[in-house]
Amino acid sequence: MSFSGTFQNVQIDRIVYGRPAALVLAEEATRLGATRVFLMVSRTLDRETEWVNEMRAALGNRYAGSFDGMPSHTPREAVLTAAAQAREAKADLIVTFGGGSTTDAGKMVRLALRHGMTEVPDFDRFAVQVMPDGRRVAPAFDGPNVPQIAIPTTLSAGDFNASAGCTDTRTMLKQLYSQPAMIPRVVVLDPAMTVRTPQWLWLSTGIRALDHAVESVCAVNADVRSTSESLGAIKLLTRALPRTLADPSDLDARLEAQLAMWMSMEHHRYGVSKGASHGIGHVLGGTCDVPHGYTSCVMLPYVMRYNLPSNADKQALVAEAMGHPERPAADVLHAFIAGLGMPRTLAAVGVTPDKFETVAKAALLDHYLHTNPRPIGGAEDIMEILRAAA
């Protein structure tokens, strides 16, 4: 068998893992030549731990200011508020410390600084558009010239890609923004920084990472590298997440989950597609305010069951990686998610049948509905999946 393809390198300088975050931050800020470091941090971690103060102290006179409390799903208005503060601070390095919304906000703040964005409509010309045939049309624009260091506290994995989701609250749609320079220059994986992450958030974003890996194994354009990396991530997460549930202080298991998160995203950067779990999940997040991790907990098993006629061979690889080669992958995933105490239906996350049509129509605008292994012919096919997940 012969193979061909193109691998697109990205602008991540370093991924540093297993070392104290404050120490690494000071080292990397020095290496990048930053003199005005602006922190974007979780409000809870800023108020209830000493970790942010330790980062400020480690930076010394390089520390220039901070913003806390980015809302979920990264609304435009909050990005503009943070950008105004970063602009006032004359930031030359943005550091994000928190979950996926904080990471995405850092990317968007850097974009706002680069292009002088000060009003909500300023975002419009940068958003990716999805055409009726599923093609993504990404406008050309200059990427951020202020770098970012990301210190994630969840497993949602947005730190490893060059895109950001940002919600237009006028339409309640979460839109994609993509440019190679939007990716963080440095990602710091310190498991100690995750122990205050609520268990539901840690575990549900772990399922989000599992969703990345599972849909990559099942992707229509999966290749040898993406499949092997994704299967490795599935095996690690299957082992690590129950360990962190049993013992939240198990830093080895937490680091293993972080490394699996990284592996789950490696192939994303060179074009391996996702499917309907991601596509519907984006809409459930931006339109119905369902946390990212929960969208994967609910949708992934049902999407796998819907797709089974088109990719039974690939789904068998998923079931085997999770330790149950004799069972359907959808059933294995359903039981695994249940074992972590996560929600498994739309009703459990507050999405009632009267919202299904709105979700289905909006999901058709998401690129990943058009790269689902079993073709999605229209809103009624999405409704079928939603009704099964009800």
Same domain, 237 and 138: no
Final residue of a structural domain among 192, 227, 243: 192
Same domain, 277 and 336: yes
Determine the structural domain holding residue 272 and report its residue range.
198-389
Domain tally, the chain:
2
**CATH for 156:** 3.40.50.1970
CA angle 149, 151, 155 (to 5 degrees): 130
- 302 domain residue, yes or no: yes
Q: What is each CA distance from 368 to 73, 160, 280, in whole angstroms?
A: 18, 18, 8
**C-alpha span between 94 and 72 (Å, rounded):** 19
Longest dimension (CA), the chain: 60
- 5 domain residue, yes or no: no
CA 299 from centroid of its chain's CA atoms: 16
- 3 domain residue, yes or no: no
Same domain, 247 and 374: yes
Q: Using an 8 Å Cβ cutoff, are 97 and 188 in contact?
A: no
pLDDT at 5: 60
Same domain, 296 and 226: yes
pLDDT at 390: 97
- 149 domain residue, yes or no: yes
pLDDT at 324: 98
Which of 133, 138, 144, 147 has the alpha carbon at shortest distance from 177? 138
**C-alpha span between 318 and 231 (Å, rounded):** 7
Same domain, 260 and 232: yes
Q: pLDDT tens-digit profile of 330-375? A: 999 999 999 999 999 999 999 999 999 999 999 998 889 999 999 9
- 256 domain residue, yes or no: yes
Note down pLDDT in tens along the chain; length 390 residues.
345 666 566 679 999 999 999 999 999 999 999 999 999 999 999 999 999 999 999 999 999 999 998 998 899 999 999 999 999 999 999 999 999 999 999 999 999 999 999 999 999 999 998 777 777 788 999 999 999 999 999 999 999 999 999 999 898 888 899 999 999 999 999 999 999 999 999 999 999 999 999 999 999 999 988 999 999 999 999 999 999 999 999 999 999 999 999 999 977 666 789 999 999 998 998 789 899 899 999 999 999 999 999 999 999 999 999 999 999 999 999 999 999 999 999 999 999 999 999 999 999 988 899 999 999 999 999 999 999 999
Q: Which amino acid is at 72?
A: S
Final residue of a structural domain among 137, 162, 192: 192
Same domain, 178 and 277: no
How crowded is residue 104: how many other Cβ atoms within 10 Å of its Cβ? 27
Same domain, 67 and 204: no
**CATH for 210:** 1.20.1090.10
- 8 domain residue, yes or no: no
Q: What is each CA distance from 339 to 120, 213, 233, 296, in whole angstroms?
A: 42, 19, 19, 15
Residue for token pair 């059933």: 331
- 291 domain residue, yes or no: yes
Same domain, 80 and 217: no
Q: What is the secondary structure of 239-302 as a DSSP string?
A: HHHHHHHH-TT-HHHHHHHHHHHHHHHGGGGGT----HHHHHHHHHHHHH---HHHHHHHHHHH
Same domain, 180 and 209: no
Q: Which amino acid is at 101?
A: S
**C-alpha span between 364 and 339 (Å, rounded):** 32
Same domain, 180 and 207: no
Same domain, 153 and 209: no
How big is the chain, counted in residues? 390
Final residue of a structural domain among 162, 192, 222: 192
pLDDT at 1: 36
Same domain, 127 and 229: no
Q: Using an 8 Å Cβ cutoff, are 173 and 167 in contact?
A: yes
- 1 domain residue, yes or no: no
Distance linking the first and last C-alpha atoms of the chain: 43
